[in-house]
């Protein structure tokens, strides 16, 4: 028997930023549990519905069966040969197996396989009921949710992201008994805090969404609620001749704040537009969760849109209240803007001496001086203006001690750019100040000029080298200084902006600055570990581009020092892996690698052509000789794909070699010569990657 399953976990208001992620994980974990227990088919799991609002996480899954199907489990015992003596009597092994099955030896069956015949016994296992299995499935699903910090409430021991108030577990119209997080299941949910009478009885799992909407005034489906918000916001913006900018993060957060959305548009005084619009947008977006309105050119208009959780009978009052709150926030921003203009950005630099960067590495002022030296060096090597980069690096952190950034820390860099321009600094200096924070997140834009790229690299290298060397290495999920993100940013700038720096050189440059500026010595062992840490981020970087893991590992095995060189290799190997010859050549290289590993000492790659006695080995040697010089030239020029295409021609002579030649000859000189031939071929491939690792 099948029916619709409803599970709803009712809580105090859940964190709005995390609601969608929590809901997706809650649904996925429950469906995985049901699928593993064979209580739902994959087709039905795919058509299940997920619900999430500020006070609930819920799942409605169709065609969930009442109990698992019965199963026949075949147990395999000892081999027949070991189960009976020559006289046909059962051995202790056979007797023990029969006893474990609860039968006599005579009741055991026989299982014939390619490897022999075995004693066996089929046991019929009755499927467990949904009622019996569901509490454990739910308990495990809740334990696996991505909750950074769980809380306890009242006198209980249950832990969750917020206090749990009610629980519904229904199969069709039947309540299934379960106690989760100290709450017993029932069929009563709760509607909107202000637009419903409170408790709502759910008569059947299929009526859940409709009952919540009609009786509880709750739009339970996250996507439906988000669509309502987007439509209302777009209509409100259009009513004043504007539009809203794409902002999925804000849209997700606002959707997580309301159960029945109503958009209200409000205005603010035109005079506030004299303040940089980023400050006003930050006040509206980050502090008030308002949508800002822009004109066709992207310029901010004096309007905002708030999403109310109630349908007020007096929307003007709601509008007025929000306008009053926003006016106070914008007045603060205006005050900070005017106050900050009284002090030049350069005059703020010395104040950074009172701001600690790291206990072992000194103040932010000391960091600024390190950045100044390192950015100048890098900019010069990148073809940029070292003086501009040095000035930009010195001023890069100065806005941290401004009033505006003190209140709106998300504006660091942005305000520094405004202040630098206002003070008459060269435009590139202001760009360095703002853009050295780019990229701020995965997929974000990169610094544009060579000078800004130099400051961005210097900032991340300084943090990586200093903090890593101070002993605070990221472990597991803990990375308080975001060193992994800094590493990925370094890689993106070097690869996407096509800078051929070696990581070891960059780390050494930063270490030298620490030594020169602060007498902090970072030895070669620590530098090598830092290079390894940065290189280790390449796996995640290329996996995000859908590059095969074995392709990445093949290149990583050669430890290219330049990320740009790594990029060229990985793209070449990825293309090579698709050609017909790749599989056989990868297998051959794996075989060669295994042979060479078993040899004592280093194998020479110097081949004595006159000692090649077999036609197949002479053929392979000639093939290598014919392409070696050309391949080496291509590899030296970074033309890895063209070089690998030439190496693909070795497939036939390599196959012939292994079919016709005994590598491990009894004649020591002959064996060593053949090993040298294989080593020579392997060395050519290793100029790009260890393609033996393409074997899966």
Cis peptide before 439 (omega within 30 of 0): yes
The more confidently predicted of residues 84 and 273 is: 273
pLDDT of residue 696: 63
Residues 100 and 207 grouped into a single domain: no
Where does residue 673 rank: exposed (0-12), middle (13-18), buried (19+ CB within 10 A)? buried
- Based on the fold, state whether residues 286 and 315 are members of the same structural domain: yes
pLDDT exceeds cutoff 80 at 429: yes
In 3D, which of 415, 454, 461, 462 has the Cα closest to residue 436? 454
Say if residue 20 is in the same domain as residue 138.
Answer: yes
Tell me: pLDDT of 360 over 70.
yes
155 with 233, same domain? no
Q: Are residues 362 and 382 in the same domain?
A: yes
Contact (CB, 8 A) for 176 and 131: yes
CB-side neighbour CA atoms (13 Å) of 5: 26
Q: What is the mean pLDDT of residues 159-164?
A: 96
In DSSP terms, 60 is beta-bridged to 6, 49
Please check whether residue 605 lies inside any domain of the structure. Answer: yes
pLDDT at 367 over 80: yes
Q: Are 50 and 58 in contact (CB under 8 A)?
A: yes
Give residue 340's pLDDT: 96
Counting the structural domains of the chain, the total is 5
Q: What is the mean pLDDT of residues 35-62?
A: 96
Same domain membership, residue 245 and residue 169: no
Residue 568 lies in a domain: no
pLDDT of residue 629: 93
Question: Does residue 522 share a domain with residue 392?
Answer: yes
pLDDT at 87: 83
Angle CA 32–37–42, to nearest 5: 55
Asked if pLDDT for residue 465 goes beyond 70, the answer is yes
Structural domain boundaries enclosing 264: 222-340
Choice among 114-118, 302-306, 666-670 with the minimum mean pLDDT: 114-118
Write the DSSP symbol of residue 409. G
Is 346 within a domain?
no
Q: Tell me: do 190 and 331 sit in the same domain.
A: no
pLDDT at res. 641: 93
Output the domain CATH number for residue 512. 1.10.3210
The token pair at 631 is 């391949």
The pTM is what? Answer: 0.82
- Tell me: do 63 and 78 sit in the same domain: no
Is 551 inside any structural domain?
A: no
Mean pLDDT over each residue of the chain, to the nearest integer? 94
Query: 318-323: long-range contacts at Cβ-Cβ below 8 A with a sequence spacing of 24 or more?
Result: 318/264, 319/264, 319/265, 319/266, 322/264, 322/266, 322/288, 322/290, 323/266, 323/267, 323/268
Dump pLDDT digits (tens) for 500-533.
999 999 999 999 999 999 999 999 999 999 999 9
Residue 656 is part of a domain; what is its CATH number? 1.10.730
Q: Which of 519, 536, 553 is the last residue of a domain?
A: 536
pLDDT digits (tens, 9 = 90+) for 21-39: 999 999 999 999 999 999 9
pLDDT, tens digit (0-9, with 9 covering 90-100), for 92-107: 899 899 998 888 988 8
Which percentage of the chain shows pLDDT scores above 70? 100
Which token pair is 292? 């800002």
More confident residue, 610 or 462: 462
Is 431 in the same domain as 474? yes
pLDDT at 148: 85
Contact, 318 vs 312, CB < 8 A?
Answer: yes
Task: Answer yes or no: is 547 within a domain.
Answer: no
**Co-location of 148 and 33 in the same domain:** yes
**Euclidean distance between CA atoms 473 and 36, whole angstroms:** 38
- pLDDT tens track for 590-618: 999 989 888 888 888 899 888 888 999 99
For 106-133, what is the mean pLDDT?
87
Judge if 164 and 52 occupy the same domain: yes
């Amino acid at each position: 028997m099948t029916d619709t399953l409803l599970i709803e976990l009712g809580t105090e208001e859940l964190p709005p930023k995390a609601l969608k992620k929590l809901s997706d994980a809650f649904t996925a974990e429950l469906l995985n549990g049901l699928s593993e227990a064979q209580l739902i088919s994959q087709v039905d799991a795919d058509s299940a519905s997920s619900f999430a609002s500020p006070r609930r996480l819920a799942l409605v899954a169709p065609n969930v069966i009442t109990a698992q199907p019965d199963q026949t489990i075949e147990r395999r015992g000892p081999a027949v040969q070991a189960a009976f003596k020559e006289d046909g009597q059962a051995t202790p092994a056979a007797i023990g197996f029969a006893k474990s099955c609860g039968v006599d030896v005579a009741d055991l069956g026989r299982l014939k396989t390619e490897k022999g015949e075995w004693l066996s016994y089929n046991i019929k296992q009755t499927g467990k009921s949904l009622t019996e299995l569901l509490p454990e499935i739910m308990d495990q699903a809740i334990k696996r949710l991505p909750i950074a910090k769980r809380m306890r409430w009242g006198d209980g021991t249950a832990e969750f992201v917020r206090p749990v108030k009610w629980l519904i577990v229904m199969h069709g119209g039947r309540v299934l008994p379960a106690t989760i997080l100290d709450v017993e299941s029932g069929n009563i949910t709760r509607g909107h805090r202000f637009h419903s009478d409170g408790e709502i009885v759910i008569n059947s799992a299929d009526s859940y969404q409709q009952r919540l909407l009609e009786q509880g005034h709750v739009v339970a489906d996250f996507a439906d609620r988000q669509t309502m918000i987007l439509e209302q916001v777009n209509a409100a913006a259009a009513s004043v001749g504007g539009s809203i900018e794409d902002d999925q993060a804000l849209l997700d957060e606002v959707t997580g704040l309301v159960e029945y959305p109503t958009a209200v548009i409000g205005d603010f005084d035109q005079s506030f537009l004299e303040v940089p619009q980023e400050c006003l947008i930050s006040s509206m977006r980050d502090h008030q969760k308002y949508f800002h309105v822009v004109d066709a050119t992207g310029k901010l208009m004096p309007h905002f849109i708030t999403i109310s959780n109630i349908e007020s009978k007096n929307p003007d009052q709601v509008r007025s209240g929000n306008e009053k709150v926003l006016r106070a926030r914008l007045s603060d921003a205006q005050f900070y803007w005017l106050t900050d203009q009284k002090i030049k950005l350069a005059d703020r630099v010395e104040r950074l001496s009172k701001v600690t960067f790291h206990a072992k590495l000194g103040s932010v002022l000391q960091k600024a001086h390190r950045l100044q030296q390192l950015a100048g060096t890098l900019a010069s090597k990148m073809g940029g203006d070292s003086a501009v980069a040095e000035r930009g690096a010195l001023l890069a952190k100065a806005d941290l001690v401004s009033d505006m950034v003190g209140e709106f820390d998300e504006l660091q860099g942005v305000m520094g750019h405004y202040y630098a321009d206002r003070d008459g600094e060269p435009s590139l200096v202001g760009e360095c100040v703002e853009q050295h924070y780019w990229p701020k997140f995965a997929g974000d834009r990169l610094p544009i000029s060579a000078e800004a790229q130099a400051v961005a690299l210097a900032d991340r290298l300084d943090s990586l080298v200093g903090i890593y060397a101070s002993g605070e290495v990221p472990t597991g999920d803990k990375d308080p200084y975001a060193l992994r993100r800094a590493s990925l940013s370094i890689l993106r700038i070097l690869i996407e902006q096509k800078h051929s720096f070696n990581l070891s050189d960059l780390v050494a440059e930063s270490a030298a600055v620490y030594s020169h500026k602060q007498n902090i010595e970072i030895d070669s062992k620590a530098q090598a570990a830092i290079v390894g840490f940065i290189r280790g981020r390449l796996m995640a970087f290329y996996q995000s581009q859908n590059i095969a893991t074995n392709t990445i590992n093949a290149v990583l095995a050669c430890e290219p020092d330049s990320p740009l060189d790594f990029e060229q290799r990985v793209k070449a190997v990825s293309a090579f892996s698709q050609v017909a010859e790749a599989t056989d050549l990868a297998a051959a290289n794996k075989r060669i690698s295994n042979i060479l590993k078993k040899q004592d000492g280093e194998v020479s790659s110097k081949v004595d052509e006159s000692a090649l006695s077999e036609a197949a080995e002479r053929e392979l040697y000639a093939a290598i000789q014919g392409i070696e010089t050309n391949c080496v030239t291509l590899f030296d020029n970074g033309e890895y794909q063209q070089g690998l295409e030439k190496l693909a021609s070795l497939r036939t002579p390599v196959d012939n070699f292994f079919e016709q030649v005994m590598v491990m000859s009894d004649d020591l000189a002959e064996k060593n010569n053949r090993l040298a031939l294989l080593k020579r071929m392997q060395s050519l491939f290793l100029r790009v990657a260890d393609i033996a690792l393409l074997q899966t």
